[in-house]
Chains A and B, each alone.
Chain A
Amino acid sequence: MVVQNVVWAVCIILMAAVVGVFVWVADGASRHVVDHTPLTAAAYRLRPWLFLILALAMIGANWRTLIELPYQAVASAKALAAPVQRVQVVGEQWDWRITPNQVKVGTPIAFHVTSRDVNHGFAIYDPSLRIVAETQAMPGFDNVLRYTFEQPGTYQVMCLEYCGLLHHVMRATITVVPR
């Protein structure tokens, strides 16, 4: 399941629903009722239920999504104890140095990402040009991004934090080979 596809579909459906409600109300606005009070009262009786539905949806979404955080500081002891391959990533206007830049499918990788000058964004694109993981490359900080490649191929690294004139050409590749 591609996260981006799910997010796109859910957001478009919900946004369309909001638009639909507004269009329905706008379309009926010209019809005048002499005493608006009962309508207003009915609308305000509806609001607590709407609040409850939204609150439950939000609690559910947070409960589901906060279980899986990409941060090493909250990684489980088991995950931290598992053997990983270390890959050093250094960003510098306008190039990436990735050592090594060839890894194996199924091997957990710990990318240690930093920068020698300004902020950069380290984003890994799969061969179909979809982002699979990212973190920021910041001067003075070592951001650890853990990721396990599931498919072999040539993955592109692009900079996703604006860093000056040649930001858009700050690219590199990572080759993922079968075990």
Chain B
Amino acid sequence: MSAHAGRADIAGARDGETAARAVELAYIAVAAIVLLLMMLFGLTMRATQAQYLDVQPRLFYVLLTMHGAGMVGIAGVAGAVVMWHFVRRHVPVSTTVFLANLVLFLIGAVLILGSGFIGGFAGAWTFLYPLPAHSNGVWSANAAAAYMLGLLVIGVGFLLLHLDVLRGIWRTYGSLANGLGLKQAIGLAPEKTGPPPAVPAATMASIVNVLGIVIGAVVLILSLVNLYVPSFTMSALVAKNLIYFFGHVFINATIYMAVIAVYEILPLYAHHRWNTNRLFYAAWVASTVMVLIVYPHHLLMDFAMPPWALVVGQIISYLSGLPVLLVTAFGALTVVHRSGLRWDVPSGLCFVGVLGWAAGVIPAIADGTIVVNSVMHNTQWVPGHFHTYLLLGTVAMFLGYMTWTAKEVPHETIGTEPAAFWLYVGGGIIFVVAFLAAGSASVPRRYAVHLAPWLTYDRIGSLGALLVVLGVGIMVVQFLVRVPALARLPTTTTAQPLPEAAAE
């Protein structure tokens, strides 16, 4: 190779890194802004239930729909940037595909926001068939179609991204089973030869999300046909199965993508490598299967379901908690314990992310118990448990990654970050406990207007939500003001050391 060609290759690689860095920053900025906007929608809903605000039910249910769809979508974007940033250290992935996913997400988001705020669509993010076609005159078929097309466009983007990640893993490791660490899990290969922690997580999240998105696309297309050809119908129970399979898989995949931040960032602080032993790989293999078959726990009150499926849903709900508690939570505690780690906001957020996930599993398992679900299904217990592992889990992990990225540029307002951290964590705990307490008192979820005996929960929850918005708002603004400087940093500076570099 000539010296000229060599210099050209190096320049090309540097351009590639710069482009990748720019797209990552765009992802983080979009995720942070939309996250904050959706939190404001959530605060508005809680304040309305608390009777602090007078939002009419028509707008309330639009906000409910936008908040649900927006949060699920942005959790996907947040998880995707974490996964992509770390997995590309180990496997080749396409920056173009990564960018295409973000562009398609924004197009889909515009369609969804238009469906709600222009078309009045308020069918909830779950678009439970046949509700989109039965609005009783509140929204049009076109508004419902815009919403579903928006979801489809977003789904196409994520499908491309996950297929590209799987292609890279296949090319590097020879198969997806090797990417998961299946040989190490069943003892056919030494533990030390297994992939680094980001790879099994990315493999698992991408496998399940490809399946989930395809099933979601099927039910979206069938629902779209039903909108314009009412004589074309399907079983409400079959549609519900398809929707909850898609919804469950997609939202869970966001956690499995975001947790990569914990695997990669905490060891840098603790100076201990994340222990990828046989149990670690076995947990990821088991989670791949369990996340696909556990979704009937959303259908425990659908008495027309085969009872065996619902019993399986309960049992797998319990089992799926084990990998979380025994592998990721235990691993995080072991890495941090007496490590000499000096806490700061990014490391604290990553640690809180694991805590939120582990703690949220407990009320989720309770809700997945049939006899409990019989008196708590669709009460505020449900947003109570999922906000515990999403707001204090996935979001904390993403914020940990965001603030860790922002640390590369010193900023004079950095002194406010610990305050923002405590506002977010303290507010988050108040917020989720208020939901759980309300759920145990049988307060329904998704009600625009609450009865007088329920207002205390709503008011405490509103306070928690306000604190969360303030804390996250400070973190987001501090990140956004650093974006121009982050974009100008030379890519050699922005490349963080691999965990292996800090290994014992």
Contact = CB atoms under 8 A, between A and B. Distances in A.
Contacts of B322: 51, 54-55, 58
A77 interface: no
Contacts of B338: 28-29, 31-33, 36, 39
Nearest to B58: A165
Contact of A21 (B315, B318, B333): B333
Chief secondary structure at chain B's binding surface:
helix
A179 to B, nearest CB: 25
A118 B442 contact: no
Contacts of A74: 307
Interface in A39-76: 39-40, 43-44, 47, 50-51, 54-55, 58, 61-62, 65-66, 68-74
Interface stretch (B69-77, B126-134, B212-220, B481-489): B126-134
Contacts of B123: 164
B366 to A, nearest CB: 5
B339 A166 contact: no
A129 B334 contact: no
Interface in B143-164: none
Given A160-B377, A165-B58, A43 B318 contact: no
A57 B318 CA distance: 10
Given A25-B336, A26-B351, A165-B122, A135 B301 contact: yes
Contacts of B334: 39-40, 43-44
Contacts, number: 241
A133 interface: yes
27 contacts: A4-B441, A10-B366, A18-B329, A22-B351, A22-B355, A25-B333, A26-B343, A30-B340, A36-B339, A40-B272, A47-B279, A47-B326, A51-B326, A65-B372, A71-B310, A73-B303, A118-B130, A121-B378, A130-B375, A133-B375, A138-B240, A141-B237, A158-B444, A160-B377, A160-B378, A167-B448, A168-B449
A141 B304 contact: yes
Nearest to B376: A4
B5 interface: no
A118 B128 contact: yes
A87 B501 CA distance: 69
A133 B362 contact: no
